[in-house]
Amino acid sequence: MGMLSELLITNAFWTWSLNLFIDLCKNYGWAIILFTIVLKLILSPLDYMQRKVTIKNSQMQAIVQPEIAKLQKQYANQKDVINQKTMEIYKKHNYNVVGSCVAMLINMAVTLVVFITLFTSLNNMATINLSNQYSDLKSAYDTAITNSEDVNEAVLNEFDDIIERDGFLWIKNLWVADTYKPPMVTYDTFFAQYKKTDEYKAGVDGLSSEQVTAYNQTLSDEYEVIRGIVYTDESNTGWNGYFILVLLAGVVSVLSQYVSMSAMKTKNQPKEQQSTGKVMMIVLPIIMVIFTLTSNSMFSLYIITNSAMTALIGYIMGVVIKKTTKPIGEAPVTNVGKSSNVVSYSRNYQQPKTKKVKAKVIENKTNKYFGTAKKDETTKNNNADISNKGEK
């Protein structure tokens, strides 16, 4: 019950948030696009933290994996020894495996919660709006009969207002998928959603099973009459969309995954991570295409906008992180040429300091033991020795 109440609260929050953008944009399509952009920007710090940790983790894996591979060969049949020595390697490099996964798990959890709750909320909104569309048509139908007006004209005018209000670009009805489905759904599709509404529950409250059956039959007959009037106009027939959102969802998801992989790619990246990225580049777009085929167009617009923002933000973050993150574990590199004895060091390596011997100290010691008569000769010999030691 606690989880259910939390879900209801979350759905109410999304509905309230979306209504703010709908009031601002006066259009459902632009409202969901702007809402998704703002939501993605709010959640971007989590994404940044996860990407930065992932890049550092890749760098560390490139360092420890060769050592672990040697252990596995050396102690092939001793799993306990391998595990113990693997932990020693992690400790030696100050690598916390659990800590490196926390940022990723947090980001994944938040992303999944947002995706699932928003999906549920938009489905609930679709149910309510489809019900309201039919209620508006039914009201226009009843009013025309009461006032002895042209019923067909009244219903068609009302449906035009619905399409103008709930349509977007080529899509006639945003609360229906961008597919071959008609803009005014069939009664079975409508009733599957309508029976979940408070309006329907109030209508059948207290009725016997026979009365409920009769109520449903009357509802079906009225719906088919009004739907038939709507389709007397050829412009209302045909598909609700042209599968454009479905195609865009697949293409933009592939682009988003490709950009993310490129942004997260590091030198000597483990093959396991590369393989995981390639699998996700295939699996995730397929999942997004399935959602756009089976969901209302509002949620499809969310998927496409979210994927596009992920690609854009991912590219920017990748550039920033790579420029601000120092490589881990650089070692001195010696480049010895045929005519040069110059040693090149990495930026993290400091050349050890050599002690400089003061000539004055040597001179004083020479005078003490050999006298001033041998000063020049002794100093010359000592300087020669120091020079030889320095060359060595």
Query: What global pTM score does this model have?
Result: 0.71
The total of other beta-carbon atoms located within 10 Å of residue 101's CB is: 14
Using only the alpha carbons of the chain, give its radius of gyration.
36
Question: Which whole number is the average pLDDT over 23-51?
Answer: 89
> Could you give the percent of the chain with pLDDT greater than 90?
26
For the chain, what are the domain ranges? Answer: 2-324
Per-residue confidence band for 363, with pLDDT thresholds at 50, 70 and 90? low
Could you give the 3-state DSSP secondary structure of residue 289?
Answer: helix
Which among 29, 35, 1, 54 has a CA at the least distance from the CA of 318? 54
One-character DSSP codes across 88-118: HHHHHTT--HHHHHHHHHHHHHHHHHHHHHH
pLDDT, tens digit (0-9, with 9 covering 90-100), for 226-261: 999 999 888 888 899 899 999 999 999 988 888 877
Q: Is the pLDDT of residue 115 over 60?
A: yes
pLDDT score at 364: 56
DSSP 316-381: HHHHHHHHHSPPSS-------BTTB------TT--PPPPPPPPHHHHHHHHHHHH-GGGHHHHHHH
* pLDDT value of position 157: 92
Give the number of other Cβ atoms within 10 Å of residue 301's Cβ. Answer: 27
**In sequence order, what are the residues at sequence separation of 6 or more whose Cβ sits closer than 8 angstroms to the Cβ of residue 66?**
none
Q: What is the pLDDT of residues 123-147, one digit of tens each?
A: 888 888 888 899 899 999 999 999 9
- pLDDT tier at 100, thresholds 50, 70, 90: low
pLDDT mean over 366-371 = 51
Phi, psi of 27 (to 5 degrees): -155, 130
pLDDT score of 37 more than 90? yes
C-alpha 94/C-alpha 272 separation (Å) is 22
Instruction: Tell me the per-residue pLDDT of 256-276, one tens digit each, with 9 for 90 and over.
Output: 888 877 766 655 555 655 666
281-316 residue pLDDT tens: 788 889 989 999 988 999 999 999 999 998 888 888
pLDDT tens sequence across 146-163: 998 889 999 999 999 999
Asked if residue 345 has pLDDT above 50, the reply is no
Amino acid sitting at position 247: L
The CA–CA distances, whole Å, from 65 to 27, 60, 261, 277, 314 equal 53, 8, 20, 19, 27
What pLDDT is attached to residue 333?
39
Beta-bridged to residue 325, according to DSSP, are none
pLDDT of residue 367: 53
Torsion of CA 345, 347, 348, 354, to 10 degrees: 50
3-state secondary structure of 265: coil
Q: How far apart are CA 110 and CA 156, in angstroms?
A: 44
Give the Cα separation of 155 and 136 in Å (integer). 9
Quote the pLDDT of residue 226: 92
pLDDT confidence of residue 257: 83
Residue % of the chain over a pLDDT of 70:
75
Q: What is the pLDDT of residue 200?
A: 87
CA torsion angle 45 46 51 56 (round to 10): 100
Q: Could you report the per-residue pLDDT of 167-200, keeping only the tens digit for each?
A: 999 999 999 999 988 898 888 888 888 888 888 8
**How confident is the model at residue 341, as a pLDDT?**
41
The two three-digit tokens of residue 66, written as one number: 């060769």
Kindly state the average pLDDT of the residues 43-63. Answer: 77
> Which residue has better confidence, 46 or 168?
168
- Dihedral sign computed on CA atoms, order 204, 188, 291, 300: negative
Q: How confident is the model at residue 384 (pLDDT cuts 50, 70, 90)?
A: low
Q: Give me the chain's average pLDDT, please.
A: 77
What pLDDT, on a 0 to 100 scale, did the predictor assign at position 189?
85
Q: How far apart are CA 160 and CA 153, in angstroms?
A: 11
Under DSSP, the state recorded for 150 is -
